[in-house]
Chain A
Amino acid sequence: MKFAPLILKHLRKNWIRTLSTVLAMAVCIFLICTLQTVVDAVNYGLHLGNASRLVTRHYVSLVFNLPNNYEAKIAAVTGVKNITIVTWFGGMYRGDLKYFFPNLAVEPEKFLAIYPEIMLPEDQKQAWFHDGRGCIIGRKLAEKWGWKVGDAFQLESFIPPYRVGKPFEFVIDGIYDTDLVKYPATDLTAMYFNYKYLYEATGEKTGVGTLTELIDDPSHAGAISKAIDAEFENSDTQTKTETEQQFIAGFVAMAGNLALLLNGIGLAVAFTILLVTANTMSIAVRERQQEIGVLKTLGFPSGLVMALILVEALLLGAMGGALGLLLAGGAIRVLPSVPYIGDVVRQFPGLGLSSRIVTYGLGTALLLGLLAGFVPALLAYRARITEVLRQL
């Protein structure tokens, strides 16, 4: 601690340089932590998928629908306990994507049986089962728009087959909650309505987007998936069946590649900042040749001189890291309420600056500081008094 004034005064002397280095480091840590948080949130969502649920979709792409009669054929496959249609409707509230929230057409009774995380009072369940234009909405969505049971609203889909010349009108039959401890990934901003309504409104021409199956044993998921896909192997519309976890992984733009991309960006930024900070430290130390010579003449051991420079670099890293974490924490808190981005971000249930990421961010900042300061500190360690003082 007795050397602290010496270190701090050096940082304060060139405060513009110190500030710019700290800001550069902060931006780096901010990016790394924010990107890592997104990666974690995506992974978190993936791991929370129900292992007892399979999702069947068109083999080529999610863009194409499956024939309606596939539901009955899949229901007959051994190991399938229940099945429901889940079709992405793509409805826009007020006809504008900026008011977007997830809305899907399902078969109410079967859907609630397969998705126990969607929790509704019994009277609301019954109301929904018997209301063709009824829908249920998540608690957060209801709070966002101030909607109550009995309220009506309209949605217009941006998907061509579902654009029928006029908006779809819905009545809220229920507001669902969940047990966040048991089902933390449950989306409370979604809306579900009766597939029959969609089917009839489109002139009974539309197919189903996906089919979700509840199976008897998660350990049989592979065999059942194969059996389902084998059923349609020789048909015009082949299927691809996978676990809900795998389906979500594919749905969120190949999460593995996303993580690689985001980590790659973080690494590139970190490397750039390492060069910037190392350059700053080199200049700072080069300007201090006289001081290094004097300290050594006074009897400061080379190791101590090296340590003083390393601590200075670590301090830069710590300040940048702390500021970066504050920025990341603020951004992650604010993001869900940002138009457009917020709608996407809210889909990630585990979004938040975890202690693991705080440690990771701070550790990266300190490591960058240490690496940036190492070479200048080593040069100071090796500096010979007679040579550095002769250069003055």
Chain B
Amino acid sequence: MSTTNTVTTTAVSVQNVRKVYQRDSIQIKVLDGINLEVQQGEFVALMGPSGSGKTTLLNLIAGIDRVTSGKVVVAGTDLTPLSEGELAKWRSRNIGFIFQFYNLIPVLNAVENVELPLLLTPLSGRERRERAMTALRIVGLEDRAKHYPRQLSGGQEQRVAIARAVVTDPTVLVADEPTGDLDHQSAEEILTLMETFNKEFHKTILMVTHDPRAAAKARIQHHLDKGVLSN
């Protein structure tokens, strides 16, 4: 995992983005002319009430959804013209995604879950296992490598999910309510871990949260309300 300091550059650039969902004959405007710049190495929190468009914005930045209009540039790549296949390839190299409900694969143990994104790389089986174990060591779960998700607590599952998100050394980490399903202490541990990745490994982090305490850990906070962004 890279720990070298880099020159400050724009990691995420959201330019006049609109997102409209079509539900039957109804058009639902979710994002309305969003502009956002996130510099490399920043820890940004996106806050706002339910339905404000936080997760949609995060999905657009992570390349798992498409803008209706506007432009999203992440890690120097304009995502707008990319095909589904190109987006998938791009995500595997540039994005680490942390979900609210961890979303570990139940039939795989912790180290196999962490190894999952590495299956898309040309690494050998041994190299994949070594990297996955390193990621688990960083999140403090090396001794739980062979445990299955059902054998882990919520906090531990989320740490495994974080290890999975960082194992490919992505440019940007996106986290959607990473502490939303955790108790206070576990949430604190997760936020501390994310801070570590931001400060020590200079990972750019975008975190969607309802929790003001979680948002306080971020250096920059943005608020979304009815599809409009404010600082």
How distant is B66 from chain A, measured CB to nearest CB, in Å?
Answer: 10
Residue among A299, A302, A389, A392 having the largest count of chain B Cβ atoms under 10 Å: A299
Mark each residue of chain B from 47 to 62: 1 if its CB lies under 8 Å from any CB of chain A, else 0. Answer: 0000000000001001
A50 on the B face (CB < 8 A): no
Residues of B within 8 A of A389 (CB): 99, 103
Q: What's the Cα separation between A6 and B116 when bound, in Å?
A: 9
Residues of A within 8 A of B99 (CB): 294, 389
B89 on the A face (CB < 8 A): yes
Interface-side segment among B5-13, B117-125, B196-204: B117-125
Q: What's the Cα separation between A389 and B174 when bound, in Å?
A: 15
Residues of A within 8 A of B108 (CB): 5-6, 9
Given contacts A2-B125, A385-B64, contact A297 B91 (CB under 8 A): yes
List the B residue with the shortest CB-CB distance to A296.
B88
Residues of B within 8 A of A63 (CB): none
A298 touches B84 (CB 8 A): no
Q: What's the Cα separation between A245 and B93 when bound, in Å?
A: 70
Mark each residue of chain A from 336 to 351: 1 if its CB lies under 8 Å from any CB of chain B, else 0. Answer: 0000000000000000
How distant is A324 from chain B, measured CB to nearest CB, in Å?
Answer: 27
Q: What's the Cα separation between A389 and B64 when bound, in Å?
A: 11
Within B108-144, which residues are at the interface with A (CB < 8 Å)? 108, 112, 116-117, 119-120, 125, 128
Within B81-107, which residues are at the interface with A (CB < 8 Å)? 84-85, 88-93, 95, 97, 99, 101, 103, 105-107
Residues of A within 8 A of B92 (CB): 298-300
Q: Which 9 A-B pairs have the closest CB atoms?
A: A299-B92, A9-B107, A299-B91, A385-B64, A298-B117, A294-B103, A301-B88, A13-B107, A299-B88
30 chain-A/chain-B pairs, Cβ below 8 angstroms: A6-B107, A9-B107, A13-B106, A13-B107, A290-B103, A293-B103, A294-B105, A295-B116, A297-B97, A298-B97, A298-B116, A298-B117, A298-B164, A299-B88, A299-B90, A299-B91, A299-B92, A299-B120, A300-B88, A300-B92, A300-B120, A301-B84, A301-B89, A302-B85, A302-B88, A385-B59, A385-B64, A386-B59, A386-B65, A392-B101
Q: A297-B91, A385-B59 are in contact. List 13 more A-B contacts (CB 8 A).
A: A13-B106, A294-B103, A294-B105, A299-B88, A299-B89, A299-B91, A299-B120, A300-B92, A301-B84, A301-B89, A303-B85, A386-B65, A392-B101
